[in-house]
A and B are shown apart, each in its own frame.
Chain A
Amino acid sequence: MSNVKVLGKGCHNCRATVRLIQDVLQEKGMPLDVEKVEDMQDIAAYGIMSTPGVVIDGTVVHAGGIPARAKVESWFN
């Protein structure tokens, strides 16, 4: 199973992104562990410039805005 992190300091879009990912994971019957990274220093370490960012197994796959559902689904295929 993959390690999913959502980077972002509790803004509306970050929460929506966490919900969307959990939704997709649930649909695929995968465990719902999504880790939230809220510390600015940790977020900056990933080198993203807009939040929310999504990191899967250490790779940044998305930054800025709520990702499209199709994009989220493609991460877990």
Chain B
Amino acid sequence: MNAVLAFPRLRPRAFIASSVVVWFAAYLALSPLADALVAMLPVARESRLFEAIRFFLYDTPKVLLLLTGVVMVMGMINSYFTPERTRVMLAGRTEGVGNVMAALLGIVTPFCSCSAVPLFIGFVQAGVPLGITFSFLISAPMVNEVALTLLFGLFGFKVAALYLGLGLTIAIVSGWVIGRARMEAHLEDWVRQMPKARATIGEDSLTLADRLEAGFASVREIVGKVWPYVIVGIAVGAAIHGYVPEAFMAKLMGRDAWWSVPLSVLIGVPMYANAAGIIPIVEALLSKGAALGTVLAFMMSVIALSLPEMIILRKVLKPRLIATFVAVVASGILIVGYVFNAVL
């Protein structure tokens, strides 16, 4: 047992090569395995129950496998992009380029909403412009690997790519608008009085084995927390698969209901859930005929804007800046929802 546990530490390259092979083999084996399993059940083929069980048996391991792989890789990538290094890259950037960089770095820099305040202060202290800091703060929670993987696993490449592109656009444009509004005076006084710090990069002496360890740690932490949501989400999806009439939500959240986008954002903003927790709802809404733009707007507003986060940020931002932040991001989400419903 000890020899197995020591393998990634002693031979990191060999471990990565063999895990990639095992991972792909497992992924390819899922579909035939699910078929074989469901065939053993005493359920008539082509029945609704058969379809639902097949869907559950195939999708659950598929999504969990995808998630484990992506979180592992992202955990390793994250070890290159510590918040300290990101800060150095963003310090003194001009608006525009800086906003784009901040939004992109938001994807790869590890971020947890409980760190939002120290991170915010760290950025401001090092001279990262306010608008660029906001681009990062919007992108980091909204555009993350868990959301993207789940969207890809359950709804396909197109939905995931759209979410990625639109999430980044909202982060870039909202940050730029907030920067233009010149609201530095609306930071809390103690934040403005903090001594300026020069951003420096701490030494980085991580070996490949250390990065693997970082990958394992994020799998333990993220997949360990998220898996119950995934299973519930897929169970909901399986139950809907064939059972619920398709047009159920079409009237309420379909493309023709113009007020459905603002309503979704209005409901979504005070709600707080992580990307995994919201997926079952997204899945249920989509398969009952809700329009894609409306559902994505709902999902984005739940993840990007939440009451608990506002309360945390209130420590460093005066009410007017918080209100501006919420208004700008919510308008961005609103536009995205409408554009989507119009184009698709």
Chain A interface (Cβ within 8 Å of chain B)?
Answer: 8-9, 11, 13-14, 40-41, 43-44, 47-51, 53, 64-66, 68
Contact = CB atoms under 8 A, between A and B. Distances in A.
A27 B124 CA distance: 41
A44 B112 contact: no
B98 interface: no
A20 to B, nearest CB: 13
A64 B117 contact: no
Interface of B: 82-84, 87, 110-112, 114-115, 117-119, 121-123, 190, 194, 197, 213, 217, 221, 312, 315-316
B194 to A, nearest CB: 7
Residues of B contacting A: mostly: helix
4 tightest Cβ-Cβ pairs between the two chains A and B: A11-B114, A49-B122, A49-B83, A50-B115
A44 B118 CA distance: 6
B114 A49 contact: no
A47 B83 CA distance: 12
Contact of B83 (A8, A9, A64): A64
A18 to B, nearest CB: 14
Contacts of B315: 40-41
A50 B217 CA distance: 16
A65 B118 contact: no
A41 B112 CA distance: 18
A40 B84 contact: no
A48 B118 contact: yes
B74 to A, nearest CB: 14
19 contacts: A9-B114, A14-B114, A40-B117, A43-B117, A44-B122, A47-B122, A47-B197, A48-B122, A49-B83, A49-B87, A49-B122, A49-B123, A50-B110, A50-B112, A51-B112, A64-B110, A64-B115, A65-B221, A66-B221
Contacts of B117: 9, 40, 43-44
A49 B84 contact: yes
A51 B115 contact: yes
A44 B312 CA distance: 14
